[in-house]
């Protein structure tokens, strides 16, 4: 009789948990639909009335609200929280100096009063709204006590460590153009930027062995230091983010991240301002802090990339639809055949018409090629990756785990520089992962035979 009562209590507890979960899910779905309804109405009204400077202020604030909403929506999944927090910060860095607290002293905000900026902010607004529409309502909590980004059954670890380690050392030494004199930025090759992939695959297949993990970790530090020493930021940041996601995110509380993020932001700003002539004096640090305050904590890389994106819109007005579709064909071919395809890089193409420093925010590439539908396409691509990250668990195939780490850690590149990173880069990741998987499986085959 006692056992029956216990079973009944367990069933009641289970039913209560299910009821609370369904109620919580219903609330999230209701809030999501309300957000979609309100902001879709704002977008349609703004489109009907024509894009104007007055409406741009409303849209700019709406971009910030939607960015924060996305962060709140995914907050229970640490991997998605990191990804969408970074995206929110990028969007903040675009909106603040261009629309809310205009930074008139910068060349990169010189289009802030141009009519093209009114179209530009609406593109970003539609991108975020589309993300929310496609976003899964249920975000799976990911607070776990064990690392799932390491292969639990590794084989041929020493062979994989040796092979990947030698490849990385070759890239480190020979695929980075170091200047002859200090004060000039170094130039990494495309292969150097894709070193991220070798680290992800290498750690996944070998990091269970502490010596292999240590070897790859030392090489990773050398990569990051070389990038920082010669005035770069993005590659070093990607490597730090990669390491955090693979080894620390699963056991880190969000509140503990904030102090490290603030210190890291000041250091990255210091590197960005001083570049290769890095000065760690008190006066230099004070100057950086004052500069940060003037920019309202906006990241210069973000509003520089946005400036480039607005040149896309200006060049778009000079071209016919057929010309833009032809450029899209070149871009599509470059996914498989590389940058050797002529006119496949939109930033390089627009340099013929406007001076900028390359880059370009993700949805503006697709908008240039495919119009407003391209903005929705770009959001759909990111949503697909979001759903993959949201589906991760211990039983997920290794490639999806590596893909998730790659998408999160390369967010600086694919959102602010080029979408090719999450198109061609994913193909390259698949090739490297497949080769490593074959080597990892060699021992299994020999055991069977």
Q: In this predicted structure, what is the pLDDT of residue 306?
A: 97
Of 98-112, 183-197, 246-260, 292-306, minimum mean pLDDT range = 246-260
pTM for the predicted model, two decimal places = 0.90
Angle of helix 195-206 relative to helix 157-174, nearest 10 degrees, comes to: 160
For 372, counting Cβ atoms within 10 Å of its Cβ (0-12 exposed, 13-18 middle, 19+ buried), the class is middle
pLDDT digits over 372-403, tens only? Answer: 999 999 999 999 999 999 999 888 899 999 99
Of 1-5, 55-59, 190-194, 311-315, minimum mean pLDDT range = 1-5
pLDDT digits over 113-138, tens only? Answer: 899 999 999 999 999 999 999 999 88
Judged against a pLDDT cut of 50, whether residue 99 lies above it is answered with: yes
Once rounded to an integer, what is the mean pLDDT over residues 294-317? 92
269 close to 240: Cβ distance less than 8 angstroms:
no
Angle of helix 300-316 relative to helix 362-370, nearest 10 degrees, comes to: 0
Q: Which residues contact 189 (CB under 8 A, 6 or more apart)?
A: 171, 175, 176, 177
Share of the chain above pLDDT 70, in %: 85
Judged against a pLDDT cut of 80, whether residue 146 lies above it is answered with: no
Once rounded to an integer, what is the mean pLDDT over residues 406-411? 97
Judged against a pLDDT cut of 70, whether residue 78 lies above it is answered with: yes
Of 31, 137, 25, whose CA–CA distance to 74 is shortest?
137
Of 94, 34, 89, whose CA–CA distance to 59 is shortest?
94
Q: How far apart are the C-alpha atoms of 91 and 109, rounded to whole Å? A: 14
* Band of residue 7 on the pLDDT scale cut at 50, 70, 90: low
Mean pLDDT of the chain: 87
Specify the higher pLDDT residue, 266 or 232. 232
Q: How far apart are the C-alpha atoms of 161 and 215, rounded to whole Å? A: 8
Of 259, 226, 224, 261, whose CA–CA distance to 243 is shortest?
224
Per this entry, what is the length of the chain?
A: 449
């Amino acid at each position: 009789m006692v056992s029956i009562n216990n079973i009944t209590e367990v069933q009641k507890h289970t039913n209560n948990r299910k009821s609370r979960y369904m109620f919580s899910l219903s609330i999230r779905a209701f809030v999501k639909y309300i957000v979609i309804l309100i902001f879709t109405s704002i977008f349609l009204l703004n489109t009907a009335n024509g894009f104007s400077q007055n409406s741009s202020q409303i849209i700019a604030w709406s971009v910030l609200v939607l960015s924060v909403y996305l962060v709140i929506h995914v907050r229970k999944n640490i991997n998605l929280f990191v990804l969408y927090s970074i995206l929110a910060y990028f969007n903040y860095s675009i909106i603040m100096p261009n629309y809310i607290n205009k930074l008139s002293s910068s060349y990169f905000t010189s289009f802030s009063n141009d009519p093209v900026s009114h179209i530009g902010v609406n593109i970003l607004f539609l991108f975020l709204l589309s993300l929310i529409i496609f976003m899964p309502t249920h975000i799976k909590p990911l607070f776990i006590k064990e690392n799932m980004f390491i292969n639990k059954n590794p084989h041929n670890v020493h062979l994989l460590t040796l092979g990947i380690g030698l490849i990385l050392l070759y890239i480190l030494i020979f695929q980075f153009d170091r200047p002859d004199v200090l004060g000039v930025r170094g130039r990494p090759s495309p292969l150097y930027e894709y070193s991220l992939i070798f680290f992800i695959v290498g750690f996944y297949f070998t990091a269970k062995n502490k010596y292999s993990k240590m070897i790859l970790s030392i090489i990773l530090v050398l990569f990051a230091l070389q990038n920082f020493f010669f005035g770069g930021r993005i590659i070093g940041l990607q490597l730090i983010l990669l390491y955090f996601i693979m080894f620390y995110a699963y056991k880190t509380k969000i509140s503990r991240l904030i102090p490290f993020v603030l210190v890291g932001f000041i250091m990255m700003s210091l590197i960005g301002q001083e570049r290769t002539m890095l000065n760690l004096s008190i006066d230099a640090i004070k100057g950086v802090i004052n500069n940060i305050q003037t920019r309202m904590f906006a990241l210069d890389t973000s509003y520089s990339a946005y400036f480039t994106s607005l040149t896309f819109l200006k060049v778009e007005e000079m071209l016919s639809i057929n010309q833009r579709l032809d450029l899209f064909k070149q871009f599509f071919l470059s996914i498989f055949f590389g940058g050797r395809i002529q006119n496949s890089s939109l930033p390089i193409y627009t340099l013929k018409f406007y001076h900028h420093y390359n880059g370009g925010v993700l949805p503006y590439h697709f908008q240039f090629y495919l119009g407003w539908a391209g903005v929705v396409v770009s959001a759909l691509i990111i949503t697909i990756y979001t759903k993959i990250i949201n589906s991760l668990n211990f039983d997920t195939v290794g490639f999806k785990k590596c893909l998730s780490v790659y998408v999160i850690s390369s967010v600086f590149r694919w959102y602010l520089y080029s979408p090719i990173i999450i198109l061609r880069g994913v193909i390259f990741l698949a090739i490297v992962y497949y080769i490593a998987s074959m080597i990892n499986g060699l021992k299994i085959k020999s055991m069977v035979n």
